[in-house]
Structure 1
Amino acid sequence: MSNDDTTKGRAPTRRGYMKYGGAVVGGGLLAGCAGQSDSESEPAETASDATSTPTRTGTEDDPYSVQMAPMGVVEFDEVPQDVFTILGHHVDMLLALGRGDDINAMHSPGYHQALYEKLVARLDGVSVDWEGLYSSWPPTKEKLYELDSDVHIADPAKVTTGEGWADSNVQEIAENVAPWFGNTLSGTNRTPPEDWADRYEHYTLWEIFGKIAQVFQAQDRYDALRSIHESVLQTIEENLPPTYDRPSAALILLSADEDSGWGYKMNYPGYYAAHTRPMGAEDALADAIGEGYGDDGRNITLDYELLLEADPDVLLVLGPMTGYFSLGEIRQRLENDDVASEITAVQEDRVYAQGARRQGPILNLFQLEMTAKQLYPTIFGEWKGYVNGEPYPEIPEDEQLFDRQRVADVVNGDI
């Protein structure tokens, strides 16, 4: 793990290379720019300015600033080296920027290790080694002092929802250790805590990634990966069948030992649906979930009866690629149950593994490809199937929706 040992001898209150811009207001963090707590074993995209560019001044060797809600303008004297983070979308962004080894903490590192090692197996020269890192949700103030990170890539508004985290504690860490820089509630465009409402803004996955790239002065990698992403979206959008010829689908997470689980909106705003929304498929659970259920209407607790009532043509099952669930066992449970076995997706053997909703650019690219194939195999090529414990399946080059080597080169710095 990369550390800048020359900075560690200074008192935290004199950390010279990063500071917040703006003014402190009351017990909040800044004035300025306007989840294990969820059921994916992770704590709990419609952008108002999709073409905005993060505020930045200077060069890699000079002070510069980056703006993102809810922090406002954050100033940096040099590029951070030792990085604290919590959630998977930020972890993914750091990996994509070639900073995977600089991470000193994340929520459930074993979970993320298991998922991402299956993806990077298809990216030459890219690897992950996160076993044993501090599992950071909810973090403790004492641990943040001990880690003495250069930056906290985490959403301070989300952090204040953790036990023991008043706004004053968030501000203390920003002043005495290092600033916060992250945006999490854009996952479902979730309503922020009351104290943060006037400074919060929702972004797309790729807007957040662009701003994180600015923090690490890695705009070239961001631009290259964004170009790949735009090409994938264009391919999908240009080849989708007419609406009447699209399947119905349900995105679900099943309980490991009960005949129940959770259903998630596939076409809901926010980066949680960044891989399903572009598919334009009918969300079989949309009516059941409604607008007011769960966290801003994003999910529903379901059983097999409700799932049969929705009767999706395709079941997209979260979890198997993390190693926490076996797709084979899930299929067997569904097939052996008197109710679940009547679901069209089960009868037609269209029950597929997915990764996770809390995604950054790398997982997003793979999930766009897998979901396109799972929903529209005659258009985008057959999904080769995920084998429990194995890497992301090998896809023939002429059936890939993005160039693996190009992505690997970008992550490795060969732009």
Structure 2
Amino acid sequence: MPRDDAARGAPTRRAFAKYGGAVALGGLLAGCTGGGDGADGGGGAESGDGDAESNSTASTESEPDDDASAGLPYTASMEPVGEVTFEAVPERWIAYDGGFADMAVALGKGDGLAGIGNADRYYTYVYDELPGVEVDRSPIEAYPEVRTKEEFYELDADLHLYDPQMLVNWFDWGEGDVEEIRDNVAPFFGNLIFRRSDGWHDYRYYTLYEAFERVAAAFDERERYEAFAELHESFIADVQSRLPPADDRPRVFLTFEGTDEPETFSPYRLVDKGTSKKQWLDLGVTDALAGTDVENLSTTNRGELDYENLLEVDPDVILVRGHERKSPTEFRDTVLAYMEDHPVGSELTAVQNGRVYRGGYLYQGPIHNLFLTERAAKQMYPDEFGPVTDDAELFDRQRVADIVNGDL
């Protein structure tokens, strides 16, 4: 049931958050003020690079004060929405994808989850390894595909972590529909960053931590963001210091194929710097499709490769997305076993060497990324980091839990 804020004397909906005048409105309506993957519900080559912008300011915030309202109002900005002014810190929120949901959980806002746009690709089991961190699955199960105006009205959230242009281009919303929900319910605040190959995304992209910084600004959680950024930087630096020389790193083919008996493969290109590729880029692997004319999977490119095509490339490692709810053993007993018995697939070097693995999430946030990078390091460099099936930990779970729980 929608909350009756006015009747309870709470701030009205439009007092809760508002867009910053013509700049924000122009960014939303035009959908282009500057400038991520797969067989994944909608829309893949990059147009724009957010990496150059890591030092930009995401928000204007006051110093902490004993008065809880001392820092209000405050602003946060993200393309294609522009600047949003918050009169109160958002409590209830919805995210389209697991990456933005994971950002909110990392910022200690998991209790405010009201629904999700794509529950099938939000993997909450990682939180089981973090002491004292839990996400209630009931809102996800009750609202697993929040994509209609009616659902936005019904949930009556304070913040929508959605790229509104994704709703326009994937789910046939009009610009008027976006304005209506923005004005009558709550602001949108998101950017489709998991890949960079959709032609309609002609505004700025962000790296994972650039987007995370902006979401932290929207929730007024600068300290938690900075703690995560410090942990992430230290973790990545340690892993990278242990990598072998570039010539000794594997040639990797990243693909989507959700069946247990794959016959064709939808290709991803690692030159696409979308956030779903972050762990592979941080680990310095080589794109096995380099030098070919194969394009990245996108809204308009749905091309596939068969085993004969793949044998011409013959990658050292094959990473298959679409199996993240399988254990490593279950994956090997199904997908890899089928490829080993295939008359052509069995000729692939990666198959012969048993180097076919699950390919990671399409949508990853900061917590997801720590786990996925740890797994990927073992997949790519088992001689250095140990086999992917062992329990060796490359980052401190307790420290992650402490940050989420506010022990900074």
- TM-based fold match above 0.5: yes
What RMSD over aligned residues (CA atoms) do the two structures have, in Å? 3.1
Residues 252, 261 of structure 1: 8 Å contact kept: yes
1:201 Cα offset (Å): 1.2
**Runs of at least 5 residues in structure 1 that lack an aligned partner in the other structure:** 386-393
Asked if 1:350 is matched to 2:355, the reply is yes
SS of residue paired to 2:99? helix
Q: Aligned with 1:286: secondary structure?
A: coil
Query: Hey, what does 1:95 align to over in structure 2?
Result: 105
For 1:5-404, what aligned pairs fall within 5 Å after superposition?
A: 6=5, 15-23=14-22, 24-25=25-26, 28=29, 38-40=38-40, 42-44=41-43, 46-58=50-62, 61=69, 62-112=72-122, 115-117=123-125, 119-130=126-137, 131-136=140-145, 139-184=147-192, 186-191=193-198, 193=200, 197=202, 200-256=203-259, 257-288=261-292, 290=294, 292=295, 294-295=297-298, 300-323=303-326, 326-327=330-331, 328-384=333-389, 394-395=391-392, 400-404=393-397
1:63, distance to aligned residue in structure 2 (A)? 0.6
Q: Amino acid of the residue matched to residue 279 of structure 2?
A: H
**Shift of the alpha carbon at 1:84?**
1.6
**324-333 or 371-380: bigger deviation:** 324-333
Tell me if structure 2 keeps the 8 A contact 1:13–1:176: no
- 1: CA distance, partners of 2:302 / 2:121: 21
Say whether the 8 Å CA contact 1:104–1:133 is kept in structure 2: no
TM-score (structure 2 length as normaliser): 0.86
Contact 2:50 2:204 in 1 (8 A): no
1:326-381 per-position Cα deviation (integer Å, ceiling 9, x unaligned): 40200111111011111111111122223313211111111111111111112223
Retained in 1: the 8 A contact 2:38–2:268?
A: no
Percent sequence identity is: 37
Are the equivalent residues in 2 in contact too, given 1:352–1:374 (CA < 8 A)? yes
TM-score with structure 1 length normalisation? 0.84
- SS across alignment from 2:170: coil
How far is the alpha carbon of 1:171 from its aligned partner? 1.0
Indicate how the Cα distance of structure 1 residues 222 and 286 shifts in structure 2: closer, same or farther if over 3 A, else same: same
Matched-pair contact (CA < 8 Å) for 1:66–1:211 = yes
AA aligned to 2:372 is: Q
Q: Which has the higher contact order (CA 8 A, sep 6+)?
A: 2
Whether the 8 Å CA contact 1:108–1:135 is kept in 2: the answer is: yes
Distance verdict in 2 for CA 1:4–1:32, change over 3 Å: farther
**What amino acid is the match of 1:253?**
F
Residue 312 and residue 26 in structure 1: after superposition, are their counterparts in 2 closer, same or farther (change >3 A)?
closer
Tell me if the contact between 2:3 and 2:156 (Cα under 8 Å) persists in the aligned partners: no
Q: CA deviation at 1:238?
A: 2.0
CA drift of 1:173 comes to 1.0
Q: Which moved more, 1:275-284 or 1:247-256?
A: 247-256
SS at match of 1:240: coil
Please identify, of 217-226 and 345-354, the stretch whose mean Cα deviation from structure 2 is larger. 345-354
Aligned mates of 2:224, 2:324 — CA distance in 1: 26
Q: SS of 2:142's equivalent? A: coil
Unaligned runs of 5+ in 2: 44-48
Contact 1:13–1:177 at 8 Å: present in 2 too? no
Aligned positions, number: 390
Q: Secondary structure at the match of 1:320?
A: coil
Separation in 1 of the partners of 2:227 and 2:76? 20
Q: CA deviation at 1:250?
A: 1.5
User: Deviation digits for residues 265-309 of structure 1, max 9, x if unmatched?
Assistant: 23422212111111112211334454x554299985222222222
Counterparts of 2:59 and 2:27, CA distance in 1:
25
SS of the aligned residue for 1:268 comes to coil
Question: Match of 2:206, SS?
Answer: coil
Once the two structures are overlaid, the 10-residue window that deviates more, 299-308 or 71-80, is 299-308
Structure 2 SS opposite 1:235: helix
What is the SS of the residue equivalent to 1:105?
A: strand
Tell me the distance in 1 between the aligned counterparts of 2:158 and 2:7. 10
Give 1:84's aligned amino acid: I
